[in-house]
Each structure stands twice: as C-alpha cells, then as structure tokens.
A and B are shown apart, each in its own frame.
Chain A
C-alpha cells in the first residue's frame, strides 16, 4: 500500500482552508467566525509540516510553532473584545456591530 504523498496532504489542507474561508463568509456568529479562522490556520500549519518533510527542512516546523503562539494570542484578544462588546448586548451576530458607535 503506497504511503500518502506530500501532494495529498496539501490537497487536504487546501480543502480544510476553503471550508474555513466559506465559514467566515457565511456565518454571522463572531465566535463561529473565530473557529473558522482557527480552521484556516490549522490547514496552513498542516501544509507547512508536510512541506517541511518533503524538503527535509526543520524551518517549516519552527514556523508552525510560531503560528501556534500567534493563534493563541489572537484568540485571547478576539474573545476579550467579544466579551467586552457582549456585556451591553443580548444577541451575538456580526451584523449588529455595523453601526459606527459604541
């Protein structure tokens, strides 16, 4: 049975990235939109690791390490903003934040 090629890993990563991108475009709940952003980050991480093995270069894995840290910081700040906004509101959709006032 053949081992999966780097190409197949990249195609799976592209598929998950596209699902995440469509999710950001379709869903209105900011929490779900954040989860879709996490999906896209993970897809890119997977392609980095697959290419790191293909090119036998550890730098790909180092970059994934940094992406993990930045993703954690991004989620912390994003959820903090959502909590701060939601304190004065009852519903949670991105459309409610369209007006330019606090």
Chain B
C-alpha cells in the first residue's frame, strides 16, 4: 500500500481531508465551488490529483485510509462530479466521433496508422540527455507501475470472444504465468537499475496534470460499465501506437548507455505490443462491436481520447524539456 500524496490545491486538499477523516464519521464532499474554478481540467494538476486519489481507492488503496472508504457514498458522489467534468473535457477535446460504415476495424487501423511518429519518442531516441530520459521515466511511472490494471476491470463487463481476447492480452501483460515477467515489474526493475525509487506516490506528487489525466481517463473508461466500449477502444489505440515508439525509446536508452533493465522493458514492448495491437483491434474491439453494435461509436471515442490525451501529455513534456534547455542556455550565456 502506498502513502497519500501531498495535495496541491483546494480539490486535492478536500479529498485528502476526507480520506483522513475518522472512518465512522461522515466524509466531506469536495466543494463544488472549487470545481467551478477548474478551467482546463485536462492539465489541472489539482483536479487530476483529486480524481487520481479517489480512483486509487479502487486499486491498491492508501496506508492509513480504512478500506471501507472505497465505497463511501459521499466520496462516490465527489468522484462522480469530478468524472463528469473529465468526461466532458475529453469529449470536447476529441470532437465528433464517426465510424464510416460501422467498420470499427478499418477505422481503428486507419486512425492508428495515420497518427504519425511520436515526437516524444523521437526526442528520446536522438536528443534526450540522461536526465531528460529519466524525467520521462518519472512521468511514465505513474502509469507503468500500474500497467494494464485499469483494463482488468473491464473483463466481467464484456463477454464472448472479446472477453477471451482481453484475457489473453492481459495474461501477457501479467507475465503469462511467470510473475517476474509482469510488465509492471519490468518497469520497476528499470527504475531500480537507475537508482530511482519504485514508490508510486513520489511520482504522482511530481507528475504533470496531463500525465495524471492520461491515467485517469483509463480509470474513467474502465470503472464505468457504460464506457466499456471506450475502455477497449483506448486500449486498442494505446497498443497500436506503442511498438514503433518503444523501438525508438529502446534505441535512445542504448545511445545513452542506460542499464540493460531499461532497454529490456522497451525491448519487450516492441514485440508484445505488435501482438497486442492485433488482439485489441481484431480480437477485442471488432468482436465487441459485433456483439454490441451500440458500442461502436464509444470504441472510437476511446481510441480518439487515447491519442488526444496522451498527445497532450507528450506535448507538455516536450515543452518542459524545451523550456529547461532554453533556461540553461540563457543562464550559461548570462
């Protein structure tokens, strides 16, 4: 179990206060007034941190927070209010969703092939310093230390061939019968090899709002049954845009002569995600759309949301690195 992160504004303070309240007393609901101040939810760290903590209750939970709090009705009310704002922001960012002829396989292949090379992966491949590479790992730790966990919540919510394909994909993510091959553990080993902590809270406390948003969107889709189509579309887009970037990041790790554990994590994902892409698009999404045609647009929404929100998180990182470099240059010149 992990410790509660330090809050960074009125919403996350409200959640921390509520989580630390006596288990038998009523829990405070995050103030709706503070919610009104959230102008850009997708990059608002306070907003995303508040929601991240409420979601974490459904994953590993926190030290010193009683387990019953997971289903505290008042906290569920708070979570739902934050989720509505997040969902609205995601839908606005994505814009109108359409699947020509209802052919979800073709739409997903086209979307993920046209998405172009990841600028972040290109930067890590050719230009990043060791410090910049490590700062990338710190941001990504928020997801990778919990890699694939959100999608596991979807298993009981789908059926038939789509369920079998999701189970097959998740089995690979969780080490295919070999605990030491779990992708989350491979990432933790990469962090350890660089002398970095594996304490998730430390990374959450430093993460950008958009990074937290990219993880919260997965929980939003996976923890709301009505959004199960979006959860699977998100997974498909994630996997289908992962192999080539992972190959570039792997080359970046080798260029910087980082420990083999770092390379091993990305090396595994080049091959695994090329398989997972096919499983997710053809095995899961196509079959899900066949079984439940009403979910077709939601599958596409999830895929578009993945590319848009992860793209936003990537832009924030690139801008940060550029700003840091500019500052260093001007300091050295001055």
The reply to whether chain A is a binding partner of chain B is no
Write the residues of chain B forming the contact surface with A, with a CB cutoff of 8 angstroms: none
